[in-house]
Structure 1
Amino acid sequence: MVVPKSPEKKLPQNLCLEARLSPNPSLSQNSGGLKHSSSNGSFSSVTSLELRPQEFSETDALLPNELYGGSRFSRSLSSKDPEGSSGPEETVCSMVLQILVPFLLAGFGTVSAGMLLDVVQSWDVFQDISEIFILVPAVLGMKGNLETTLASRLSTAVNAGKMESSREKWLLIVGNLALKQLQATVLGLLASVMATLLGWMAEGQMSLNHLVLLCSTSLSTAFVASLLQGVIMVGVIIGCKKIGLNPDNVATPLAASFGDLITLALLACFSQWFYSFMEFYPYVLYLVDLFYLCLIPVWMVVSSKHPASLILLRTGWEPIIAAMLISSVGGLILDKTVSDPNLAGIIVYAPVINGVGGNLISIQCSRISTDLHLNYSTRGIPEGHKVCLNPFYTFFGSGANHRSAQVLLLLVLPGQLIFIHVIHLMKGGLTLPSPLFTVFFLSASLIQVFLLLCTADCMVHCLWRRGKDPDSYSIPYLTALGDLLGTALLALVFVTLWCIGDTGNV
Structure 2
Amino acid sequence: MNRNKNNRMAHSTETDIEPTYRLVNGDKPPDIQNEKETSWVAGVQMFVSFLLAGFGMVAASLLLDVVQHWKVFDKISEVYILVPALLGLKGNLEMTLASRLSTHAHLGHLENSLTSLVVGNLCLIQCQAVLVGFLAAMAAVAMGWIPEGQFNIHHALLLCASSVLTASLASLALGLIMIGVIVISKKLHINPDNIATPIAASLGDLTTLALLSWIASLLYKSVDTNVILPSIIIISGAFLVPVCGYIAWKNNFTRQALDEGWVPVVSAMVISSAGGLILDHTVSVYTGIAVYQLVINGIGGNMVAVHASRLSTTLHKGEKEGSMFSSTTKMLLLMVIPGQLIFIYTIGYLRAGHTSSTPTFILVYMCAALLQVFLLLGISHYLVVWMWKMGIDPDNSAIPYLTALGDLLGTAFLGLAFSFLYAIGDKDSDLGD
- Short-chain TM bin: over 0.9
Secondary structure in 2 matching 1:171 = helix
**One of 312, 315, 318 as aligned partner of 1:372:** 315
Match of 1:253 in 2: 198
Identify if the C-alpha distance between structure 1 residues 112 and 501 changes in structure 2 by more than 3 Å, giving closer, same or farther.
same
Identify if the C-alpha distance between structure 1 residues 442 and 490 changes in structure 2 by more than 3 Å, giving closer, same or farther.
same
Structure 2 letter corresponding to 1:92: S
Whole-angstrom distance in 2 between the partners of 1:95 and 1:215: 41
Secondary structure in 2 matching 1:304 = helix
Match of 2:50 in 1: 103
Match of 1:480 in 2: 404
**One of 18, 25, 32 as aligned partner of 1:73:** 32
Q: Is 1:443–2:401 an aligned residue pair?
A: no
| Contact 2:198 2:302 (C-alpha < 8 Å) held by counterparts | yes
| Contact 2:22 2:318 (C-alpha < 8 Å) held by counterparts | no
Match of 2:97 in 1: 150
Identify if the C-alpha distance between structure 1 residues 421 and 447 changes in structure 2 by more than 3 Å, giving closer, same or farther.
same
Q: C-alpha deviations, 1:399-437, integer Å up to 9, x for none? A: 233211100011000000000000001111214211111
Whole-angstrom distance in 1 between the partners of 2:122 and 2:378: 31
Give the C-alpha shift of residue 92 in structure 1.
1.9
Structure 1 letter corresponding to 2:130: T
Q: Is 1:401–2:348 an aligned residue pair?
A: no
Q: Is 1:346–2:289 an aligned residue pair?
A: yes
| Contact 1:178 1:299 (C-alpha < 8 Å) held by counterparts | yes
| Contact 2:162 2:215 (C-alpha < 8 Å) held by counterparts | yes
Match of 2:175 in 1: 230
Q: C-alpha deviations, 1:44-94, integer Å up to 9, x for none? A: xxxxx7639xxxxxx951417799674533341xxxxxxxxxxxx222211
Give the C-alpha shift of residue 222 in structure 1.
0.6
Secondary structure in 1 matching 2:250 = coil
Q: C-alpha deviations, 1:430-451, integer Å up to 9, x for none? A: 1421111110111100000000
| Contact 2:260 2:392 (C-alpha < 8 Å) held by counterparts | no
RCO comparison, higher one (Cα < 8 Å, 6+): 2
Whole-angstrom distance in 1 between the partners of 2:28 and 2:331: 30
**One of 62, 85, 103 as aligned partner of 1:138:** 85
Match of 1:361 in 2: 304
Give the C-alpha shift of residue 282 in structure 1.
2.1
Identify if the C-alpha distance between structure 1 residues 471 and 344 changes in structure 2 by more than 3 Å, giving closer, same or farther.
same
Secondary structure in 2 matching 1:430 = coil
Identify if the C-alpha distance between structure 1 residues 69 and 94 changes in structure 2 by more than 3 Å, giving closer, same or farther.
closer
Whole-angstrom distance in 1 between the partners of 2:151 and 2:34: 59
Whole-angstrom distance in 1 between the partners of 2:22 and 2:56: 36
Q: C-alpha deviations, 1:125-177, integer Å up to 9, x for none? A: 00100000000000000000000100000000110122231xx2211221011
Structure 1 letter corresponding to 2:33: S
Whole-angstrom distance in 2 between the partners of 1:447 and 1:431: 22
Give the 5 Å matches for 1:121-132: 121-132=68-79
Give the C-alpha shift of residue 494 in structure 1.
0.8
Structure 2 letter corresponding to 1:63: Y
Structure 1 letter corresponding to 2:317: L
Match of 1:322 in 2: 267
**One of 122, 125, 132 as aligned partner of 1:180:** 125
Whole-angstrom distance in 2 between the partners of 1:469 and 1:118: 38
Q: Which ranges of structure 1 fall in alignment gaps of 5 or more residues?
A: 1-11, 16-48, 53-58, 77-88, 377-381, 386-397
Identify if the C-alpha distance between structure 1 residues 63 and 275 changes in structure 2 by more than 3 Å, giving closer, same or farther.
same
Structure 2 letter corresponding to 1:330: G
Whole-angstrom distance in 2 between the partners of 1:70 and 1:113: 39
Quick check: which has more Rg, 1 or 2? 1
Structure 2 letter corresponding to 1:283: I
Match of 1:468 in 2: 392
Structure 1 letter corresponding to 2:63: L
Whole-angstrom distance in 1 between the partners of 2:22 and 2:384: 20
Q: Which ranges of structure 2 fall in alignment gaps of 5 or more residues?
A: 11-16
Identify if the C-alpha distance between structure 1 residues 294 and 493 changes in structure 2 by more than 3 Å, giving closer, same or farther.
same
| Contact 2:8 2:22 (C-alpha < 8 Å) held by counterparts | no
| Contact 2:23 2:318 (C-alpha < 8 Å) held by counterparts | no
Structure 2 letter corresponding to 1:185: V
Return the TM-score normalized by structure 2.
0.93
Give the C-alpha shift of residue 344 in structure 1.
1.0
Match of 2:21 in 1: 63
Single out whichever of 290-299 and 98-107 deviates more from structure 2.
Answer: 290-299
Identify if the C-alpha distance between structure 1 residues 241 and 62 changes in structure 2 by more than 3 Å, giving closer, same or farther.
farther
**One of 173, 185, 193 as aligned partner of 1:240:** 185
**One of 309, 313, 335 as aligned partner of 1:411:** 335
Structure 2 letter corresponding to 1:155: S
Secondary structure in 2 matching 1:308 = coil
Secondary structure in 2 matching 1:403 = helix
Q: C-alpha deviations, 1:196-218, integer Å up to 9, x for none? A: 11112332322111111000110
Whole-angstrom distance in 2 between the partners of 1:210 and 1:97: 47
The percent of aligned pairs where both chains have the same amino acid is: 46
